[in-house]
A and B are shown apart, each in its own frame.
Chain A
Amino acid sequence: MRFWILFSALVTAMTATAQFTQAPLPYSYSALEPYIDSQTMEIHYTKHHAGYISNLNKAVKGTPAEGLSLTALFSRMGEFPDVIRNNAGGHYNHDLFWSVLSPEKSDPSPELLSAVSSAFGNLDSLKKRMNEAGAKRFGSGWAWLSVDPNGKLVVSSTPNQDNPLMSVAEVKGIPVLGIDVWEHAYYLRYQNKRGDYLAAIWNVINWKEVSRRYAEALKK
């Protein structure tokens, strides 16, 4: 393990490639219209998300955080400065966010649907709980659906770029769906009407991916 860390650090230093990179957006900027506008998607992906990655690479360089995975960083969040918390969260959260959105309609798996029913009653109640969590988050942050340490689905919200994987999170779990409620996620189309954005986003949720993440989370 120790050798591997040293080896990774050496390789990183020798090749000088950035540790964290941005995956391609799985659809075009305009794919989620009219629910999420093309300009918002472009700025969100190329400026906000890319900015977190670039700042994260700079922040970890030459520090004890260098070479650690995002999940390793999150589990030891208290040991690192805020610049790592903010940018590591910003990278992970946006990466997850792009993956749980899609222009293609899909349905939750039977397993996910059954877990949603036992935790919240039905899918509409889950949406209502998520929308409330997002609407009540004062300032910038996220609404989450996660699998908690007991394997149960739970809705929560976090401030800024925190997430349920972080050791500092109030409600911990493995996120399977995250909704960005920073104003930059919706202001160009919805302005002050965060509720309208939250109501609209359910039209472009990638339930196939949320279901895949749910199955993965149960294995852990």
Chain B
Amino acid sequence: MAVTLPALPYAKNALAPHISEETLDFHHGKHHNAYVTNLNNLIKDSDLDSADLETIIKSVAGDPSKAGHFNNAAQVWNHTFYWNSMKPNGGGKPAGDLLKKIEADFGSYEEFAAQFKTAATTQFGSGWAWLVLEGGKLKVTKTGNADLPMVHGQKAILTIDVWEHAYYVDFRNRRPDYIATFLDHLVNWDFAAANLG
């Protein structure tokens, strides 16, 4: 059993004009796909070959001799989670229990959004910003390269990819504009609410 590339949960042009078809074509078809291919090559004929993605990630995390395994496995997981963190006509303020939880843990939606923007803007180099659940409380974090919440005792609720390949075609160097667009037009709060459970 090998790891497979999940289909995008929407059409490649579904997030335009905010994220272009060209970006999704490369990001899903080349970057995400390459992580899947690299991982399958690495786990072939090993005891991880039949393991599920989360098991692979957790079993190689923190082992410098398995950095390639970790980077590719975590990037497969991160990208799938990122596609689901967005939807056409998404963004804006969430509603219901998720909003109440955000208000309880951050004070207000605006405070959450400010912290999320800061984390995503200041992640130096390649990486991710996250809304996570840790010890029953929501918080904003950032991780470098392939690093992800599940190896830090946190449950991922929502993510934004801030590797330059995620936004360079559409936004060039203007990462803050990409982050604002993500929050205003793309966030899939239904997915986040389902992760909150």
Which residues of A are in contact with B by a Cβ distance under 8 Å?
43, 47-48, 51, 82, 86, 138-141, 159-161, 182-184, 187-188, 191-192
User: Which residue of the partner chain B has the closest CB to A85?
Assistant: B124
Complexed CA–CA distance, A62 and B161 (Å): 34
Q: Chain B residue with minimal CB distance to A136?
A: B68
Nearest B residue (CB) for A138:
B71
Partner of B31, one of A51, A138, A192: A192
Contact of B26 among A86, A138, A191 (CB under 8 A): A191
Other-chain contact of B165, A159, A160, A192 (Cβ < 8 Å)? A192
Binary CB contact string for chain B from 16 to 43 against chain A (1 if under 8 A, 0 otherwise): 0000000000100011001000000000
Q: A191-B26, A192-B30 are in contact. Are A140 and B125 (CB under 8 A)?
A: yes
Number of residue pairs spanning A and B whose beta carbons lie under 8 angstroms apart = 53
Q: A184-B164, A192-B30 are in contact. Are A139 and B125 (CB under 8 A)?
A: yes
Q: Chain B: how many interface residues by the 8 Å CB criterion?
A: 20
Please name all residues of chain B whose beta carbon is closer than 8 Å to the beta carbon of A183 when the two chains form the complex.
126, 163-165, 168
Contact of A187 with B169 in the complex, beta carbons under 8 Å: yes
Q: CA separation between A160 and B126, bound complex, in Å? A: 8
B62 within 8 A of A: no
Q: Which single residue of chain B is at the shortest CB-CB distance from A159?
A: B125
B173-A187 in contact (CB<8A):
no
Q: Which residues of A contact B31 (CB under 8 A)?
A: 192
